[in-house]
Amino acid sequence: MGIVLAGIALLLLLIVLSVGGRSADQQPRHTLPRELQGAKLFLCEPKENIATLKPFPLHGRPDEVYERDGELVVLDTKTRSKDRIYKADVVKLSGYAAILRNGDAFKRYRCAPHGFIRLVNRDTGWVSFHRVALLSDAELIKINNRRLALRAGQADPRFSSNRQYCRGCGQRQRCTRVAA
C-alpha cells in the first residue's frame, strides 16, 4: 500500500512540475484558443495562393483559417526565441483577412475583425496564442501606398526598431538611419 501511495505522490509531483513553468497564455502545441475550439479547419496551408484584386492585388497562403457560424478567423504561426508580435505580423495576417473579405471564393462568409498569431518558442517548444485586431482595408491601402511611394523614390524610408527588418530592407541604401 505504501509503494502505491508513493507512486501516486511521485506522479502528482511530476504533473505539478511539468505545469509549473508555463505562463497562463502558453499551452501544449495541440491546444487552440478557446474561441477556435470546435471550429472547423477551413483552410490549412493551401498549395495554391488565394487572391483578390480588392482593395488592391493581394495573394498569399495563410497557415490556417477556421470557420465557425459563417465567420472566418485567420491564424498564422511564427517560430521565435522571444514571445513577441511585430507590426509586420499583423499586416501579413490582415492581408490574408482582406483576401478572405474581398475574394470571390469567400463571399458567403464573414471575416472576423481579429485573428491569431501562434508563437512557437524555438528554444522550449512552448506555444502561445495572441489574439490581434486586424487592419481594415483602408489601413492596408495606406500601407500599400507608402510601399509604392518608397519603391518609386517618392518617400523617404524610416528606420525600424527591429534590426532584422533593416537587414532585409530594399530601401537600406537610401535610409539615413540604417541599423548596424
pLDDT tens profile 132-169:
999 999 999 999 999 999 889 898 877 776 667 677 67
Q: Tell me if 106 sits within 8 A of 100, measured CB to CB.
A: yes
The cell for 169 is 530592407
Bridge partners of 26, per DSSP, are: 128
Among 14, 21, 95, which residue's Cα sits nearest to residue 57? Answer: 95
Among 137, 145, 144, which residue's Cα sits nearest to residue 99? Answer: 137
- Mean pLDDT, the chain, as a whole number? 82
DSSP letter at 134 equals P
When comparing pLDDT for 20 and 122, which is higher? 122
The cell for 138 is 483602408
Q: Count the residues in the chain.
A: 180
Highest mean pLDDT of the ranges 11-15, 30-34, 54-58: 54-58
pLDDT tens profile 49-64:
999 999 999 999 999 9
pLDDT tens profile 90-131:
999 999 999 999 999 999 999 999 999 999 999 999 999 999
Q: Tell me if 71 sits within 8 A of 101, measured CB to CB.
A: no
